[in-house]
């Protein structure tokens, strides 16, 4: 199956694209589109996280759950929205923590593409969603795929910093070899839980400390 994805990922994940679960994902999406369903993000952006952060560039992984399900929000990068779209509540709280942690003024854009280009894989566990129906594609096979992605990163790289926010993301820790990677955990930045340990987690300064200790360029967190 010829999947349009950045070349290093295409090589790393080539076996996954031939597995029956992946073919079922493709069939499911084609069937829904044929019946008139609107699916986010657009087809060309489903693998945007991979296209913007090649495998050899990964320094940090921020794991999200599901793409945004409202019009014009989803762009294939976890927590990110395109320029000109209002910053969603969880991302607003991420920005608040950035200001408290490192003094960054609240950005006017919710577009995190500059993070991705610096080596932050902004990975949602599920890569598509039906319009206005959160978690509508959570059981079509995407988690088999993204679990395989996390395992590949864990197996083939060292020193990657995994930011796991909330129980859903933290349940993925079993896929990460913590003897050769860094795992930072906190509550989810959602307004429902940010006060339970996301605010004050200082994950942004801690990430840069860990990168610097490895002789790597720290992240410029300004979007």
Task: Give one DSSP letter per residue of 80-113, joined into a string.
Answer: ---TTSPPPHHHHHHHHHHHHHH-PPPPS----H
CA distance 146 to 169: 12
Dihedral sign (CA 96, 102, 103, 104): negative
In 3D space, the residue among 89, 38, 161, 71 whose CA is nearest the CA of residue 79 turns out to be 89
Asked if 66 is an active-site residue, the reply is yes
The single residue of 2, 56, 66, 177 carrying the catalytic annotation is 66
Which tokens go with 96?
């608040």
Give me the active site residues, please. 66
């Amino acid at each position: 199956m010829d999947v349009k994805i950045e070349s290093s990922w295409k090589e790393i994940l080539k076996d996954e694209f031939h597995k029956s679960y992946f073919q079922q994902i493709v069939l499911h999406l084609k069937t829904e589109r044929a019946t008139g369903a609107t699916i986010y993000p657009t087809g060309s952006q489903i693998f945007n996280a991979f296209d913007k952060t090649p495998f050899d560039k990964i320094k940090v992984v921020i794991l999200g759950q599901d793409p945004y399900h409202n019009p014009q929000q989803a762009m294939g990068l976890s927590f990110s929205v395109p320029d000109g779209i209002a910053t969603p509540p969880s991302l607003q709280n991420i920005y608040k923590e950035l200001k408290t942690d490192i003094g960054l003024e609240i950005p006017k854009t919710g577009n995190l593409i500059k993070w991705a280009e610096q080596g932050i894989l902004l990975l949602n566990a599920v890569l598509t969603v039906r319009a206005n129906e959160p978690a509508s594609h959570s059981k079509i096979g995407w988690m088999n795929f993204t679990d395989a992605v996390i395992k590949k990163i864990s197996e083939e790289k060292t020193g990657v910093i995994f930011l796991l926010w909330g129980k859903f993301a933290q349940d993925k820790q079993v896929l990460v070899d913590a003897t050769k990677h860094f795992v930072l955990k906190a509550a989810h930045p959602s307004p429902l839980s940010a006060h339970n340990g996301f605010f004050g987690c200082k994950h942004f300064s801690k990430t840069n400390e860990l990168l610097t200790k490895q002789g790597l360029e720290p992240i410029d967190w300004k979007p």
